[in-house]
Amino acid sequence: MTTARRLDGYTLDDWESLDPQEGRRIELVDGRFVVTPAPAAKHQRVGDRLARILDDAVASEGMEALTAIGVRVGEHFGYIPGVVVTTERVETVSVDVANVALVVEIVSPSTKKSDRLEKPAALAAAGVPAYWRVELDIADGPVIYCHRLNGGVYSDVVTLTPGNREPVHVVGTISVTFDPADLHKPRR
């Protein structure tokens, strides 16, 4: 017999022991499992293309950019961001927040509140140096709001808009320059 909820809340160990669920993303938020639909194709395309850009930029420093990897934020918090830049190579299903240089969340209809308010607050409190939020519901292409940790909260650094190429700091001395429109348009 299993129970649907533990009175003392679920932990990172509980979260990491879950079997993957086809078509679902399961995060741990304040000791509760939060289940959302798997991202749509546009969301995945943008995440995959952005991960390639970031991975190419950070590889020479022994870092990597990954999609769909868990981030262990606290005993009762575990998120699965759109893209994560880690400070070292990861071989597990999740990475400790101390080894994360950048989190990128791609906003979906079911995650708007969390991606805009809850996750940035939790990640800032955990000390993640940078947080980018990608808004997809723009006609010309995604808009990317880039934030850096400043005094325990995220402050705006730059907003990347479709049709414009502007350098944005990733980590250390590494910056990238790209047009957000290229993240979703057909490649042929």
Q: Which pLDDT band holds residue 52 (cuts at 50, 70, 90)?
A: very high
**Mean per-residue pLDDT, 118-145:** 94
- Containing H/E element for 44? helix 41-58
Q: What is the pLDDT of residue 6?
A: 63
Residue for token pair 């402050």: 155
Q: What is the C-alpha to C-alpha distance for residues 181 and 97, in angstroms, rounded to an integer?
A: 30
CB 105 within 8 A of CB 134: yes
CB 156 within 8 A of CB 169: no
Q: Which pLDDT band holds residue 132 (cuts at 50, 70, 90)?
A: very high
DSSP-based helix, strand, coil % in the chain, nearest 5: 25, 35, 40
Q: Which pLDDT band holds residue 2 (cuts at 50, 70, 90)?
A: very low
3-state DSSP of 115-130 = HHHHHHHHHHHCCCCE
**Mean per-residue pLDDT, 61-79:** 94
Share of the chain above pLDDT 90, in %: 65
Tens-digit pLDDT profile for residues 103-128: 999 998 888 888 999 999 999 999 99
Query: Using alpha carbons only, what angle is made at residue 103 by residues 97 and 106, rounded to the nearest 5 degrees?
Result: 140
